[in-house]
Amino acid sequence: MNADENRYIEITTRLRSAQSFCEFLAHGGTVRVAQSDGAPFHDVSHRLLQQHRLEVEALKRARRQLFPDRVDDDINPCLYSLN
């Protein structure tokens, strides 16, 4: 693979990962964090959803700018193949 192909795969993989995380949060997934050991947990799901939605849009823009001829292409690797 050449450098352009590697960059396209990297951006697309990051995009799909961020989209999947957004989908998880949008369908009721939660993320809770504590400020320190022993501190109460606080739900940060809404804030993370907003941040990752912005990241998705930025990755889409970058992919459109860098690869205008492949904007609608998507890489569908089989992540959990039984083969």
Q: Is residue 18 part of a domain?
A: yes
In a domain, 53, yes or no: yes
Domain enclosing residue 29, as ranges: 3-66
* 73 assigned to some structural domain: no
**pTM score of the predicted model:** 0.77
Counting the structural domains of the chain, the total is 1
What is the structure's pLDDT at 78? 46
**Can you spell out the DSSP letters for 29-58?**
---EEESSTTSPEEE-HHHHHHHHHHHHHH
Rounded Cα distance between 67 and 7, Å, is: 10
What SS3 class is residue 26? helix
Please provide the distance, in angstroms rounded to a whole number, between the alpha carbons at the two ends of the chain.
23
Mean pLDDT by 10 residues, the chain (83 residues): 86 94 95 95 96 96 91 53 43
Examine residue 81 and state whether it is found in any structural domain, yes or no. Answer: no
All residues at 6 or more sequence positions from 34 whose CB lies less than 8 Å from its CB, including other chains: 40, 41, 42
